[in-house]
Amino acid sequence: MSKSTSAMTLSSDFKDKLSEGVNTCWKSPANIALVKYWGKKGHQIPANPSLSFSLDEAYTITRIHAKLNPNANGPKVSFTFEGEKNPAFASKIEQFLNDLLPHLEYLPHVYLEIESGNNFPHSAGIASSASAMSALALSLLCIEQQLLEEQLDDNSFYRKASLIARLGSGSACRSVYAGFSMWGKHDDFKDSSDNYAIPIDFKPGSLFENIHDTILLVDQNPKKVSSRVGHQLMDNHPFAKARYDQAVTNLSKMRSCLIENDWDTFASITETEALSLHAMMMSSSPGYILMHPNTLKIVEHLVEKRKQNHVNVCYTLDAGPNLHLLYPEEENDKVALIISELTQYCSDGKVIYDTIGKGPENKHCK
């Protein structure tokens, strides 16, 4: 890869290449936000900056076979999810691809056969849009790379993949990177942007290097209020400004504690962010509650046990009832004991063990 400009030219023989068929395959992870994105300005622009880390075990694999559409009235899509054709989703993807026409010049010329699957259960209550949209974005961009005159350099490739993922699902733009990444303009993060995520520009302390995320599945049903509606309800929210200011301040503090290896501050900010996210939901108009009574039982139990046993462990919540327990690798044994007492509050006793991950991978596929 060599070029960094976003105005890329398709190669003169791109139609020949498409006639032969162009393939790609990407594996991309889910992520868990520590400083939460909640609320938008305009089209997929975040109302506040956010920071997350990519997971290792929760991922989507997406394969695309691109063929020439000689009528140039594309993009046309067939979509298979976990072995089953899904025409409803194919038409949603076509709509999304129409939004991408200004970014991917080849799209009118293709039929895309897209196959996708997750390695975590569909109904597990884990957000799949981040892994799905980042895997799709990386795959679409990888097709472009194969049709260009000159290729993007690595930095530009991931930035553009992040921008495309963002247009599909905001939080997905952070999943194109390994480890910790942030999204949204913030004075403490050079090169930060509302348009795409960037990897953090510092090495986190040793406590965070191999951080674990164990997900306690309190409820595996689809949530009652979607994130799309939740973001919209922030538009006329009476506490919106205070919340956006809080996220900016928390991001500065989060940056410092990751650098300084300060677990206590990290835990306190992470938990405040989780509770603020849910406080926004509860104080929206109409208000709603995504936590479950067992979510609160786990929080109570965890807070008591970690104090008694001096364990570095904290929790966060996504837009749902399931608890994410975060802890440094060295606390594994102590946290395992606490988890064994918490599974009574989980649906079918279900727990998913995950850690910080190495980011997306370009897989070979036929």
Matching residue, tokens 């938008």: 40
Minimum distance, C-beta of residue 337 to ligand PMV, in the bound complex (Å): 29
Nearer of residues 113 and 273 to ligand PMV, judged by Cβ: 273
Whether 50 and 184 have beta carbons less than 8 Å apart is answered as: yes
d(CA 21, CA 310): 58
The backbone torsions φ and ψ at residue 229, rounded to the nearest 5 degrees and listed phi first, read -70, -40
Place of tokens 């996210």: 277
> Which residues lie across from 35 on neighbouring strands?
51
Candidate ranges 22-30, 69-77, 155-163, 166-174; the one touching ligand PMV (CB under 6 A): 166-174
Q: Which residues of 236-251 are buried (b: 16+ CB within 10 A; e: fewer)?
A: ebeebeebbebbbebb
Q: How far is the CB of 183 from ligand PMV (least distance, A)?
A: 8
Cβ count within 10 A of residue 124: 17
Residue among 18, 25, 26, 36 that touches ligand PMV (CB under 6 A) = 36
Pick between residue 132 and residue 346 the one whose CB is nearest to ligand PMV: 132
* 39 makes contact with ligand PMV (CB under 6 A): no
Nearer to ligand PMV, 107 or 234 (CB): 234
The DSSP bridge partners found for residue 64 are 24, 114
Distances (CA, A) of 237 to 26, 232, 358: 38, 9, 37
Q: Report the alpha-carbon distance of residue 124 to residue 218 in Å, rounded.
A: 10
Binding mask 299-338 for ligand PMV (x = CB under 6 A): -------------------xx-------------------
Within 167-186, the residues that bind ligand PMV by CB under 6 A are 169-171
Q: Of the ranges 163-171, 192-200, 201-209, 250-258, which one interacts with ligand PMV (CB under 6 A)?
A: 163-171
Nearer to ligand PMV, 317 or 338 (CB): 317
Sites of contact with ligand PMV (CB under 6 A): 33, 36-38, 50, 52, 127, 129, 169-171, 227, 231, 277, 318-319
